[in-house]
Structure formats: C-alpha cells, structure tokens
Amino acid sequence: MAKAKTKAKTRTKAQATAKATAKTAARKASRRRAVERAQPAAMPRSMQNRGTGDTRKAVQTPKPGSRRAGRAAPLPDPLTRVTHETEVRGTETRIDRIVERAPKPSMPDVDRASAVRQRYVYCIIRVNQPLRFGAIGMDEQWADVYTINYKNMAAVVSDVPIALYDATRENVLAHERVNETVMREHTVIPMSFGTIFKTREDIVELLRSAYDAFADVLNKMQDKLEFGLKVLWDRDEMVRSIESEDEDIRRLKTEISSQKEGSTYFARMQFGRLIDGALQQRSERYVAEFLQRLRDVSVASRVNRAIGDKMIMNAAFLVQRDQEQAFDRRIKDIASHFEKLTFKYTGPWPPYNFVNIRLKLERAGQH
C-alpha cells in the first residue's frame, strides 16, 4: 500500500524562521493528499509595486474585548475595497478615500452538487473555539469561511472545487479580503495564494506538526500591524535643485548651452550621467534618513523596489498596535522638513511583508 508523506516547510520574516514536517497516518494515506500551487505570497505586492498608492481596503484596528464568541461579523460586500490613503506634503495632510469594486473571482465552471470539495486556506490564527466569518470566501456558491481547529490554533478556510486557481487580480483580491476581515479581531499568519488541501484531516495534521512553528510566528506578530509608506518627488524639480547646488554640473550645463548642438554630444552624455548619479545619491540619502528616523516607532522595516521616476521609497513597516499614532506623527514630522517630497502611507494591513508562509508539499513514490 502506498504511503503518503507531506513535508511542510514554513519560512517567516521578522527573524522568525521555522520548519515543520506534517506526516499522515498510513491508514488514511488513500485520502490524505495535500495540494498546493506554487504561487507568490498572498498580497498583490501591495507594499511593493502598487505605484503611488495601494487600492486595498484599510481595516479597523481590533479593539480589546471586541470579539464575539463563535462568530465574526461579515462585511456586506466582500469584493469592495475602501482605501484610506494619507498623503503628507510639507505641513499639509490629505486623506483620500478610494472605493474599488473588483470583479467576482474566476472560479471553475463545475456542478457543485457533484464536485469534490477541497479546503482553501487563507491564514492561521490563534483561537480556542470554532469560528465562522460569514459568506466571504473565494467560491460564491461555497462562500462560508470557517475555521478548522487544533488545540488553540486554527486554519481559516472555505470550500472550493478541485481546480487550478490563477493569481488573477480578482482572485487575489478575494483571498486578501478574507485575511483583512479576519485581521479585524485576530493576529493572522497570511498564507500564500492558492494554498489548498483535500481534506480536513490534512489541515489538522499540518496544524499539529507545525504547531510550534506557527505559535512562534503568532507570538512574534502579536499586536503588530503593517503600514506601507511611499515617498515621491518631482524629478524635474530635483534636477533643478541639483543644478543650482552642484558647481560642476552647473558649469557643464552652461558650457553645453553656449556651444552648437552638434559639438556637445559627449558633454551632454556626461551631463546626463552626472545628473543620474546625483539623483541616485540623493535618493539613497533620503531613504537612509527616513528609515533611521522611523526606527524607534516601528519594530521592523522592509524596503521594496521603487516604481517609476517619481517614487524614491517603497517600504513596509511593522508597527506595534499602541505605536500607530506615534508612527503617524513621525511621518508628518519628517514630511514637514522635506517640503519638496510627498509621503503616502496606508494601513493597517496583515503583516504580508514580514510573515511569508510557503508550504512545500511532496508525496513519496509508490512502493
């Protein structure tokens, strides 16, 4: 008889790395098969490549004592996002409210009456009793989101038919929305998009075998939230500023303007290289200063790739719940000293940039 072996490797950021192996019993080998598509982390790179602003819904900070036993109140429309983005330039602050309506998730066209159910896992939480979060799941026909529990830990799941799920915008949005809803009242470990198990028993086995690893991550993420910060500048304005401050660049520009166009090719090439180098140095200096000044109001930070000529910083910060206002005040204070820069930040979010659980599930060959 074939024996199935499932290995679960968990990797965490924020100095939390743990490995766990989930083993299934031989008597249930024919039923226990965990499947997972290798997809990017659940977030749509929200803190990495969303341009000048996120379009995800900012969730309310959970308040102590706000939990209701056995049920979390669902949102009326699981695919609508309301983003609150704070923009600070100099001493002026503006808060934009952006409503985004996403299409329904693209689910397989199968007869649910005869379809085999799998369990789609959104996140891991710490909870002592089964919970239901309402009809907000990936599949519109099997929309109930609920927990599968082991001891004081649970996987937040919904049922889906057997199929391959593409990481389309609408699918990832539906995945994220569940995590953000759960985060209202729980510390979450967000799972990668497309994490699917065939049976409830497989998920219980994962929770059992990876219990210590998950507990370690939950302890480290307890009462911590993620905020995204983007800093932008007007490149042309910065070039003019550099020209006025750098004597060599100013002299070269004067030389180019005083000569005929055909004879200034190499001088213009040199001028472009000098400008690019000066912009890069200034950008790096700004980013280093901002990270330093935000260090005492955040637990950790991660700098992601900036997008386009206007963005010079694209970062995520892990912030203690009781430091939210201090973080907000610090950004406004920094912005007041850099009037030519625009600071945009959003949150709180689940700690997508600081916890990244990926499972590598393998089956042993038949003997």
In contact, 101 and 166? CB cutoff 8 Å:
no
> Angle, to 10 degrees, between the axis of helix 200-209 and the axis of helix 211-221?
70
CB atoms within 10 A of CB 313: 20
At 95, give phi and psi (nearest 5°): -110, 120
304-314 pLDDT, tens digit each: 999 988 999 99
CA distance 216 to 12: 10
pLDDT at 358: 56
154-212 pLDDT, tens digit each: 999 999 998 778 888 888 888 988 998 898 899 999 998 889 999 999 999 999 999 99
CA distance 193 to 44: 9
At 98, give phi and psi (nearest 5°): -115, 120
- pLDDT-derived band at 251 (thresholds 50, 70, 90) equals confident
Could you tell me which residues are beta bridge partners of residue 82?
Answer: 99
318-360 pLDDT, tens digit each: 999 899 999 999 999 999 999 999 999 988 888 888 886 555 5
Could you write out the DSSP letters of every residue in 54-90?
A: --SPPPPPP-TT---TTB-PPPS-TTEEEEEEEEEET
Amino acid identity of residue 328, one-letter, is: D
Closest by CA to 84, choosing from 282, 266, 344, 262, is 344
Determine the average pLDDT of the residues in 247-262. Answer: 73
Q: Is the peptide bond before 348 cis (omega within 30 degrees of 0)?
A: yes
Determine the average pLDDT of the residues in 247-254. Answer: 76
In contact, 229 and 331? CB cutoff 8 Å:
yes
Q: Which of 80-89, 136-145, 272-281, 326-335 has the highest mean pLDDT?
A: 326-335
Could you tell me which residues are beta bridge partners of residue 17?
Answer: none
Amino acid identity of residue 343, one-letter, is: F
pTM recorded for the entire structure: 0.68
CA distance 333 to 88: 10
Q: Supply 246's token pair.
A: 């750098």
In contact, 1 and 26? CB cutoff 8 Å:
yes
In contact, 59 and 180? CB cutoff 8 Å:
yes
Amino acid identity of residue 366, one-letter, is: Q
pLDDT at 27: 37
